[in-house]
Amino acid sequence: MKTIFEKSTGVDGVSFGECKLTEGIIPETLLRKDLIGLPQLSELDVMRHYKELSDRNFCIEKGFYPLGSCTMKYNPKVNELLAGLEGFANLHPMQSDEDSQGALELMFNLQEKLKYITGMDAVTLQPAAGAHGELTGMMIVKKYFEVKGETQRTKVIIPDSAHGTNPASAKMCGFEIVEVKSNEKGQVDIDALKSLLDENVAAIMMTNPNTLGIFEEKVLEISDLMHKNGSLLYYDGANFNAIMGWTNPALMGFDVVHLNLHKTFATPHGGGGPGAGPVAVKEYLKEFLPSPVVKKDADGKYYRDYDIKHTIGKVRSFYGNFGVLVRAYAYILMMGDNLKLASADAVLNANYIKEKLKGVYDLPYDQPCMHEFVLSGEKQHHQGVSTLGIAKRLMDSNCHPPTVYFPLIVHEAIMIEPTESESKAVLDGFIDTMLKIAKEIEENPEEVLKSPQTTPIKRVDETLAARQPNLVFKE
Ligand SMILES: Cc1ncc(COP(=O)(O)O)c(C=O)c1O
């Protein structure tokens, strides 16, 4: 019987010199007897198919992506090239230190840069996301108090404006979550915080600027209060894009920090691709880091150090998402001192849009913002279109919707983060669109409710999708 190869090619076997492809290698019983029935398509057909699919997708290459809290900044194409270099991409994680000197050097240098940028004393690159960094950081806090014999410290204080991953991560480490409310300026209420402090408090988790895009002005007072109470301060560095080079978590009095490399240092976050959430700690916590940490010996050789006295153990297989580390390192080298400028531009852009939209949309916390700000669609909701409707309408103007309904303390929240990457023309285009939508809602809300009208998928029934998910591609 002829093999499928022989049938389709019309040749008796495919020969490579003396060697026939299938002969003697694959047992006769396993050889396919019938045609496989694959569609016959040219390379061009396939290319057009995938291009058409990708055209249906919205991405940062196509338009403005002001997804608050996700820092959808420009990801330089050269980063992709570097992460794909054969020596990086094909390196096997089981290779010896001797064989991996280049990768280890990059990781060591990145650790050093992150130490410098955060002001902290030691870094692990292992965590694979921001939330994973939080989990790692809180495991370190837990173990620190265990070793100190202060196991009664079972509570973690978290502001009501926090990202949901904060309470989730602390809870996963076995802590009890205590919420502290925000004051009228959208910042931690100091009196409320004081009333929560006792010998059972292990730590506070704070984001600064917080998720309202507001800088916590009382952070030094908070740090003082916490340390006097014998507690630690955890810094959620997901919003670090706002402060790079201007201040750092060490200056603000934090003990443990995570950074979202996949937001602050290119590799935009919103695509849901691989991330990296390195954790940096002060000197007294470095013996608790996950092992191994990359070090350099007296001869200038790089090695993985597993000898960490109170290590919490490994938090990820191998050493983290190496490709994201390469991108972040490239971005830091490329930017140098301009990291500071990137933060300044991000803050300027957010304030520019905020000032142009306030009044038309409600701005619950009317004050200078950092890299993002939160509007409320409450007024438009009363006129018949909720924040969800505004988000959908934006899609008809080739604009990704902002983050909506977060943070939870703002009704009908619309969280806008333009990033530093965009030109004034793009920001002005977005402002015009938002103003146009507000006017449409006043005059003809029914039309807005039909959006999105230009996307391949129109409105979906999200409740039904959540309750009865249909996960079958084709019947
Ligand atoms: C303030 C804040 N904290 C934590 C996280 C969690 O990061 P990740 O999604 O990488 O787990 C995010 C995500 O955007 C965030 O905005």
CATH number at 370 reads 3.90.1150.10
- Calculate mean pLDDT across residues 9-37: 68
Q: Is the pLDDT of residue 29 over 80?
A: yes
Query: What pLDDT shows up at residue 32?
Result: 83
Position 48 pLDDT exceeds 90: yes
- The finding on whether 269 has its CB within 6 A of some atom of ligand 1 is yes
Q: How confident is the model over 106-128, as a mean pLDDT? A: 98
Integer Rg of the chain from CA: 26
Q: Which residue has the tokens 């205590």?
A: 178
CA angle, residues 175, 199, 214, in degrees to nearest 5: 65
- 112 in the same domain as 190: yes
Residue 8: pLDDT band with limits 50, 70, 90: low
Residue 59 has pLDDT above 90, yes or no: no
Domain membership of residue 181 (yes or no) is yes
Ligand 1 mutation target, pool 65, 69, 264, most atoms within 8 A of CB: 69
Q: Are 374 and 213 in contact (CB under 8 A)?
A: yes
260 in contact with ligand 1, CB cutoff 6 A: yes
Residues 114 and 221 in one domain: yes
Centre of ligand 1 from the C-alpha of residue 133, in Å = 10
Q: Lowest-confidence range among 106-115, 269-278, 326-335, 408-417?
A: 269-278
Q: Using an 8 Å Cβ cutoff, are 90 and 424 in contact?
A: no
Mean pLDDT of 408-425: 97
pLDDT band at 35 (very low <50, low <70, confident <90, very high): confident
For residues 362 and 294, state if they share a domain: no
Confidence of residue 471 (pLDDT cuts 50, 70, 90): confident
pLDDT of residue 27: 84
What integer pLDDT is reported at residue 435 of this predicted model?
98
325 and 373 fall within a common domain: no
Is the per-residue pLDDT at 265 higher than 50? yes
Q: Residue 69: inside a domain, yes or no?
A: no
- pTM for the whole structure: 0.90
Atom of ligand 1 at shortest range from CA of 71: 14
Residues 115 and 275: beta-carbon distance below 8 Å: no
Beta bridge partners of 303: 295
pLDDT above 60 (res 463): yes
Q: In this predicted model, what pLDDT tens digit does every residue of 169-207 receive, in sequence order?
A: 999 999 999 999 999 999 999 999 999 999 999 999 999
324, 232: one domain:
yes
**Confidence (pLDDT) at 103:** 96
Is 114 part of any domain? yes
Annotate 168-184 with b (16+ C-beta within 10 A) or e (fewer): ebbeebebeebebebee
369 lines ligand 1 (CB under 6 A): no
71 lines ligand 1 (CB under 6 A): no
Give a yes or no: residue 64 inside a domain: no
Residues 6 or more apart from 294 whose CB is under 8 A from it?
Answer: 104, 107, 108, 111, 125, 302, 303, 304, 305, 319
Nearest CA owner, ligand 1 atom 15:
238
* 313 and 225 housed in the same domain: yes
Whether residues 310 and 345 fall in one domain = no
Is pLDDT above 90 for 404?
yes
CA of 163 to the centre of ligand 1 (A): 7
For residue 373, the cross-strand partners are 416
Ligand 1 contact via 268 beta carbon (within 6 Å): no
Give the pLDDT confidence score for residue 34 in this predicted structure: 87
Residues spanned by the domain of 25: 1-37
| Shared domain check, 201 and 115 | yes
The number of folded domains in the chain is 3
21 and 15 Cβ atoms separated by less than 8 Å = yes
| pLDDT-derived band at 26, boundaries 50, 70, 90 | confident
Average pLDDT rounded to a whole number, residues 426-455 = 97
13 pLDDT exceeds 80? no
Would you say residue 403 has pLDDT above 90? yes
pLDDT at position 47 over 50: yes
Query: Biggest alpha carbon distance in the chain?
Result: 86
Q: Residue 219: exposed, middle, or buried by beta-carbon count in 10 A (0-12, 13-18, 19+)? A: buried
Q: Are residues 96 and 150 in the same domain?
A: yes
Q: Ligand 1 in contact with 75 (CB < 6 A)?
A: no
Query: How far, in Å, CA of 209 to CA of 367, rounded?
Result: 13
The residue among 288, 308, 335 that closes a domain is 335
Mean pLDDT for the stretch of residues 409-417: 97
Among 91-95, 239-243, 354-358, the least confident range: 91-95
Question: Counting every residue, how long is the chain?
Answer: 475
Span 307-324, average pLDDT: 94
Atom index in ligand 1 nearest the CA of residue 207 equals: 1
Residue 473 lies in a domain: no
Does residue 146 register a pLDDT over 50?
A: yes
Q: What is the CATH number of the domain that holds 275?
A: 3.40.640.10
pLDDT the model gives residue 472: 82
Average pLDDT over residues 300-325: 95
Share above pLDDT 70 across residues of the chain, in percent, rounded to a whole number: 94
**How many angstroms does the Cα of residue 358 sit away from the middle of ligand 1?**
26
Query: What band does 39 get if pLDDT is binned at 50, 70 and 90?
Result: confident
In a domain, 152, yes or no: yes
For the segment 142-155, the average pLDDT, to the nearest whole number, is 98
pLDDT for res 74: 86
Q: Are residues 303 and 446 in the same domain?
A: no
What would the mean pLDDT of 77-91 be, rounded to a whole number? 93
Check whether residue 139 and residue 265 sit in a common domain.
Answer: yes
DSSP string, 131-172: HHHHHHHHHHHHHHHHHHT-TT--EEEEETTS-THHHHHHHH
pLDDT at 16: 46
Q: What pLDDT digit, counting tens, does each position of 69-83 carry?
A: 999 998 899 999 999
Instruction: Give residue 457's pLDDT.
Output: 87
Coil/strand/helix, residue 279: strand
Mean pLDDT of 105-118: 98
Q: Is the pLDDT of residue 2 over 50?
A: yes
Burial of 392 (0-12, 13-18, 19+ CB in 10 A): buried
Tell me, using a 6 A CB cutoff, whether residue 237 lines ligand 1: no
Does residue 326 lie within any of the structural domains? yes
Please tell me the predicted confidence (pLDDT) of residue 17.
47
Q: Is residue 292 part of a domain?
A: yes
Q: Are residues 391 and 367 located together in one domain of the fold?
A: yes
* pLDDT score for 3: 58
Q: Is 165 in the pocket of ligand 1 (CB under 6 A)?
A: yes
**pLDDT number for residue 150:** 98
Atom of ligand 1 nearest to the CA of 236: 3
Q: What pLDDT shows up at residue 1? A: 56
